[in-house]
C-alpha cells in the first residue's frame, strides 16, 4: 500500500452478488484500495453507485445458476481487465430444516449455488 492506502500493484476482482450486504461492502473496500472490479448481480442496474464513482468498476448481470451468465461474466472481465486475479463467490442460499426433511432437489439447488 502507498501513502494513499492504495495498492502499488492493483488486483482484478470478480465478486458475485454485489448489490447488497457483504458483497457490496467487499466491493466498496476493493475499489477504495485501488483494485479493479467486475461487480455482478442479478440486477446490475443496482450497481450504479459503484460504477458511477469508480472508473475501474464494471457491472454485469450474473445469475450463478446460469452457465451462459457465468461465461459472459468471465468473458467481460477478461475483455475489460485482461485477467481475473481474485474471485469471490458471495452467493448465499438459506434453508432452515432438519436434514432428513430436505429433498434431494432442495439440497442440490443450494449446493449448486456455491460451486
Q: Give pLDDT tens digits for 38-60.
A: 999 999 999 999 999 999 999 99
Question: What one-character DSSP code corresponds to residue 12?
Answer: E
Predicted pLDDT at 4: 66
Q: Is the pLDDT of residue 33 over 90?
A: yes
Could you tell me where the DSSP H helices lie in the chain?
Answer: 21-32, 48-53, 67-81, 104-114
Q: Are 81 and 12 in contact (CB under 8 A)?
A: yes
What are the tens digits of pLDDT across the range 97-109? 888 898 888 888 7
- Nearest to 87, CA basis, from 20, 18, 32, 9: 18
pLDDT interval class at 13 (50, 70, 90): very high
Amino acid at each position: 500500500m502507498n501513502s494513499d492506502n492504495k495498492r502499488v500493484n492493483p488486483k482484478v476482482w470478480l465478486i458475485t452478488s454485489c448489490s447488497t450486504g457483504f458483497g457490496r461492502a467487499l466491493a466498496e473496500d476493493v475499489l477504495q484500495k485501488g483494485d479493479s472490479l467486475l461487480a455482478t448481480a442479478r440486477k446490475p442496474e443496482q450497481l450504479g453507485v459503484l460504477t458511477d464513482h469508480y472508473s475501474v468498476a464494471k457491472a454485469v448481470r450474473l445469475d450463478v445458476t446460469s452457465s451462459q451468465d457465468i461465461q459472459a461474466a468471465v468473458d467481460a472481465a477478461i475483455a475489460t481487465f485482461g485477467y481475473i486475479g481474485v474471485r469471490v463467490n458471495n452467493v448465499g442460499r438459506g434453508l432452515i430444516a432438519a436434514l432428513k426433511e430436505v429433498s434431494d432437489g432442495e439440497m442440490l439447488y443450494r449446493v449448486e449455488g456455491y460451486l
